Structure 1
């Protein structure tokens, strides 16, 4: 079974890729004011983004166990890890030039790389060890968090306050626990003979073949889809009519005012976009447009702006 791809796993990974593309395209549309969906701050959107990240990490754990449960294939492991690390570095570099200080310091690919290193030994151990390790990592934020982990050096741990906004942040705790859970579930399925039963599913119809194709090539699709989608929406914004002029003007003016403070331009723009999202989510954006001098509404706006600018846990959406 180690050398045989399971169609059901390729399908699951392909569905995660499709969900990721939907989320990113929605974020792009929201960013360029084509829609007023609260992609950056909405609870439902955050849950959606977290479920996508969790899916990739969980499937990474299953794939790791499939590849190494009968013996660690070191050459294949280091080759795969090298590709992921290189891709993670590329994402950091591209987002640095695109988004400035909100670039990806430790995103989903960084997390998959580190989680794979942590989870690898558990592919050769009884399932109980993977279960206990997953539980331990999941619990870390509840008892191991400390100001000692604050700042950039320890941001990968997830146990402190990183003090930055980022377009993608997936730290060790608790996310490596998802990969360990994938290893555990894979072992349980194997012990119960479920993988053998699922091997008969081929999903050979056209949608199934397309989805499995995306799953087999999830890494290049991940690297290419967002630049393509972002570029398409950006191009439409340049050649088409300006959408939601009031919102665009708000973010533009807010950013200009913010840049008179010590915050960087990128942080200012992110904080102003966050403020706009909150104003819409709070249901006061339209009221503020109708009554711009209403002091109560302006106070609520100021409070949201201060929260977005000062809250170190605020993040832009996952990539």
Structure 2
């Protein structure tokens, strides 16, 4: 017998999908230089990404409990597992050709598939058993981290230091603990008959129906949305005016270094912008981008920076 669908669960998954699309679209805009938001390294953005990943993993645990708490429906379980595993393999393959060495080795789909296997022994058990296992996995990196797990072979564990950068990395520890927490949460809800009350919520308004539809097709949206968004932003970047990512990076790094000395954001940004304008005007910038290690060019850049620091409002001469 098929497991009952809960509108509130589909809505929750749909909201996670919306948040995921917002994050990935922001990342694409940052990658192509349309915005200077610190999507890749900002603490707030990292927290946002972690909350999105955690939402999907928590809901995966809830779904496992709702679908299998009475008895494991093996055919349904393995069908879902191999579908997610195949999708994860596809993500690895596509990102290998798109991002090179930063391809996804063990991302959110890999973790959901593996966490489903980890959760198997706890399905149908009292909720507190899964809760104890969740705490164990969530805290595992705090006390079991070891150089023995460094490198590629054990990267999936989350207990070592990876020797790579990846656009998506969600290891089993601590993240599988979130799936077990979802399993425990759903079990506690069943024990307290919370699901009976939540099951009465239809959320049948237009917004509710749309969000539920997205939640029911979250895997398909996950696989399709990023190639579409990335392709659209790439197309705009290709057809539109060329963006000076190197120049933006120079101003950002220059202003950051300047503030360490002067501590004045406005003056530093103005001085660095002035420096870049002068370097572009006399052709030095093009030479620097081509050969950033050239000491004479760097000396010229530093001299111009000192001049601009003294007078940030000066303008480069106009070539006639």
Q: Which has the larger radius of gyration?
A: 2
Structure 2: state its 5+ residue gaps. 277-300, 307-320
| Cα distance, 1:241 vs structure 2 | 1.7
Cα distance change of structure 1 residues 35 and 183 upon mapping to structure 2, 3 Å threshold: same
Cα distance change of structure 1 residues 115 and 26 upon mapping to structure 2, 3 Å threshold: same
Q: Which residue of 1 aligns with 2:318?
A: none
Q: Secondary structure at the match of 1:124?
A: coil
Structure 1: state its 5+ residue gaps. 255-273, 299-319
Where has structure 1 moved over 6 Å in runs of 4 or more?
Answer: 274-282
| Cα distance, 1:91 vs structure 2 | 0.1
| Cα distance, 1:286 vs structure 2 | 5.6
Q: Which residue of 1 aligns with 2:125?
A: 125
Cα distance change of structure 1 residues 65 and 2 upon mapping to structure 2, 3 Å threshold: farther
| Cα distance, 1:249 vs structure 2 | 4.4
| Cα distance, 1:147 vs structure 2 | 0.2
Instruction: Report Cα offsets for 1:8-56 as digits up to 9, x if no partner.
Output: 0000000000000000001111111111111111111110000000000
The CA distance in 1 between the partners of 2:106 and 2:195, in whole Å, is 33
| Cα distance, 1:281 vs structure 2 | 11
Q: Which residue of 1 aligns with 2:309?
A: none
Q: Following superposition of structure 1 onto structure 2, how do residues 22-61 of structure 1 map, counting pairs within 5 Å?
A: 22-61=22-61
Q: Which residue of 1 aligns with 2:162?
A: 162
Cα distance change of structure 1 residues 176 and 290 upon mapping to structure 2, 3 Å threshold: same
Q: Secondary structure at the match of 1:204?
A: coil
Q: Which residue of 2 aligns with 1:102?
A: 102
Q: Which residue of 2 aligns with 1:193?
A: 193
Q: Which has the higher contact order (CA 8 A, sep 6+)?
A: 1
Cα distance change of structure 1 residues 86 and 44 upon mapping to structure 2, 3 Å threshold: same
The CA distance in 2 between the partners of 1:277 and 1:103, in whole Å, is 31
| Cα distance, 1:183 vs structure 2 | 0.3
Cα distance change of structure 1 residues 18 and 67 upon mapping to structure 2, 3 Å threshold: same
| Cα distance, 1:123 vs structure 2 | 1.3
The CA distance in 2 between the partners of 1:112 and 1:85, in whole Å, is 9
Q: Following superposition of structure 1 onto structure 2, how do residues 112-261 of structure 1 map, counting pairs within 5 Å?
A: 112-243=112-243, 245=244, 247-249=245-247
- Checking the alignment, whether the CA contact within 8 Å between 1:288 and 1:294 is kept in structure 2 is no
- Checking the alignment, whether the CA contact within 8 Å between 2:141 and 2:174 is kept in structure 1 is yes
Aligned pairs, how many? 274
Cα distance change of structure 1 residues 75 and 2 upon mapping to structure 2, 3 Å threshold: closer
TM-score for the superposition, normalised by structure 2: 0.80
Q: Which residue of 1 aligns with 2:274?
A: 290
| Cα distance, 1:285 vs structure 2 | 5.9
Cα distance change of structure 1 residues 114 and 193 upon mapping to structure 2, 3 Å threshold: same
Root-mean-square deviation over aligned CA pairs: 2.5
Cα distance change of structure 1 residues 99 and 122 upon mapping to structure 2, 3 Å threshold: same
